[in-house]
Amino acid sequence: EKAFTVAIDGPAASGKGTIARAVAAHFGFAYLDTGLLYRATGAKVAEGMTPVAASESLSPQDLQRDDLRSGAAGTAASKVAAIPEVRAALVAFQQGFARRPGGAVLDGRDIGTVICPAAEVKLYVTASDETRAQRRFAELSPSDPDLTLAQVLQDLRDRDARDSARATAPLKPAGDALVLDTSHLSIDEAVAQAVAAVEVGM
Ligand code: C5P
Whether pLDDT at 1 is above 90: no
As a whole-number percent, the residues of the chain with pLDDT over 90 amount to 96
Indicate which residue's Cα is closest to atom 21 of ligand 1.
108
Q: Is residue 196 part of a domain?
A: no
How much distance in Å is there from the Cα of 123 to the middle of ligand 1?
16
3-state class (DSSP) for residue 108: strand
Q: What is the pTM of this model?
A: 0.96
Output the pLDDT for position 55. Answer: 98
Q: Is residue 134 part of a domain?
A: yes
Average pLDDT, the chain: 96
| Per-residue pLDDT reduced to its tens digit, 34-68 | 999 999 999 999 999 999 999 999 999 999 999 99
DSSP-derived pairing of the beta strands 121-126 and 178-181: parallel
Output the pLDDT for position 95. Answer: 98
Q: Is residue 148 part of a domain?
A: yes
Indicate which residue's Cα is closest to atom 2 of ligand 1.
35
Banded pLDDT at 70 (limits 50, 70, 90): confident
How much distance in Å is there from the Cα of 56 to the middle of ligand 1?
17
Output the pLDDT for position 109. Answer: 97
Q: Is residue 200 part of a domain?
A: no
Count the Cβ atoms, other than its own, within 10 Å of residue 66.
Answer: 6
Q: Is residue 54 part of a domain?
A: yes
| Per-residue pLDDT reduced to its tens digit, 4-38 | 999 999 999 999 999 999 999 999 999 999 999 99
Considering its fold, how many domains does the chain have in total? 1
Indicate which residue's Cα is closest to atom 10 of ligand 1.
78
CA distance 126 to 182: 6
Q: Is residue 16 part of a domain?
A: yes
Q: Is residue 201 part of a domain?
A: no
How much distance in Å is there from the Cα of 189 to the middle of ligand 1?
24
Banded pLDDT at 78 (limits 50, 70, 90): very high
As a whole-number percent, the residues of the chain with pLDDT over 70 amount to 100
- The reply, when asked if residue 76 is annotated as ligand binding, is no
Banded pLDDT at 71 (limits 50, 70, 90): confident
- The reply, when asked if residue 14 is annotated as ligand binding, is yes
The CATH number of residue 19's host domain is 3.40.50.300
Range of the domain at 133: 5-190
Q: Is residue 198 part of a domain?
A: no
| Per-residue pLDDT reduced to its tens digit, 135-144 | 999 999 998 8
Mean pLDDT for 154-183 is 96
How much distance in Å is there from the Cα of 176 to the middle of ligand 1?
21
Q: Which residue among 79, 85, 109 is best mutated to probe the pocket of ligand 1, counting the most ligand atoms within 8 A of its Cβ?
A: 109
Helix orientation angle between 149-165 and 71-80, rounded to the nearest 10 degrees: 10
- The reply, when asked if residue 103 is annotated as ligand binding, is no
What would the 3-class secondary structure string for 174-193 be?
Answer: CCCCEEEECCCCCHHHHHHH
Output the pLDDT for position 57. Answer: 97
